[in-house]
Structure 1
């Protein structure tokens, strides 16, 4: 792979990954029942609506889950992986492997969204508690379903909530000790694993 191919992969991967985060964030927002009047939620809806509107006509929501957003994120991830493989090796492999790898990539990105939301929530709780910033409210709404099980187990230490530590630890264990063997078992090339 020459420098021009590497630059093309970097630019396309960065732009597509940003849009992929927005699409998956829309799924997460509906999953956690976030306030859709939040300006950031409105942005996610407007940014994803052109691609999701036709898919929604065919794929309905299942059990309150936005399956069309999830499907779109898997398709975008698979297309991005196919592009990287085509530029790197001159072939994109078979569809079944691409779909498996895309699902692994989306799962990893899903965990990263919760990780970042919890980081933002923790920082805001230290720096500006009771903030009504739209990003802080959204981070709290995304983090709360992840932290709730840990809060039931971990006692409150005199007003200090240490449940995020255990949530971070759980996410890190999954990212470090579950996802790599899963990717290796699925035969994911190293170039694709590095991008997720």
Structure 2
């Protein structure tokens, strides 16, 4: 994969796979946090991801708030991407490497999404004091994630420091847990 055309093709594949995985993980988070399904953004995400998730819903039915089909679809898209990279680069990746790499990528996307949702919610809490339905989705997505941290660390002097702790836990999880799994996968190449 040395030529610019090969690199452009790989970039395009990576972009498409990353976008699809992002939207599928977002669907998972929307359902997991009980985000209002009447929100136009949520309805759009559901409409776009339904064709991909429906086949997976047969094998991985949703239980309560957990949309396992969305995670299964995201995992499968990442597996397909790794297989395409393997084929294009004429390298043979083992099954364990493919599965662990796909798992780490989906977890990384999930944790990155949580990180950025919290950052966006912090910024919006400074800017938007009203109830804008299009921006309210960020509050709905982050409230269940921040709730346990808010119980541990009550607001001090009018400042809610729980997002800082949540971000710290998310990033440490990424480094320690996801990083360890990725390192294990790399040792299998």
- TM-score, length basis structure 2: 0.90
After superposition, the Cα gap between the structure-2 partners of 1:59 and 1:169, relative to the gap in structure 1 and judged at 3 Å, is closer
The CA deviation at 1:188 is 6.4
Q: Which runs of 5+ in 1 are unaligned?
A: 191-196
Is 1:27 the counterpart of 2:19 in the alignment?
Answer: no
8 A contact 1:83–1:92 mirrored in 2: no
Cα deviations across residues 17-70 of structure 1 (Å, max 9, x unaligned)?
Answer: 112111111111111111111111111111111122233234322354211111
Q: Which residue of 2 aligns with 1:57?
A: 58
SS at match of 1:158: coil
The CA deviation at 1:108 is 0.9
After the TM superposition, which of the residue ranges 14-23 and 172-181 deviates more from structure 2? 172-181
- TM-score, length basis structure 1: 0.87
Q: Which runs of 5+ in 2 are unaligned?
A: none
| Cα separation, 1, equivalents of 2:39 and 2:21 | 20
After the TM superposition, which of the residue ranges 110-119 and 181-190 deviates more from structure 2? 181-190
After the TM superposition, which of the residue ranges 53-62 and 121-130 deviates more from structure 2? 53-62
User: Aligned Cα RMSD in Å?
Assistant: 1.9
Alignment length (residue pairs): 188
Cα deviations across residues 81-123 of structure 1 (Å, max 9, x unaligned)?
Answer: 22223323x1352333312211111111111111111111011
Q: Which residue of 2 aligns with 1:109?
A: 109
Q: Which residue of 2 aligns with 1:181?
A: 180
8 A contact 1:115–1:171 mirrored in 2: yes
Matches within 5 A, 1:76-95: 76-88=77-89, 90-95=90-95
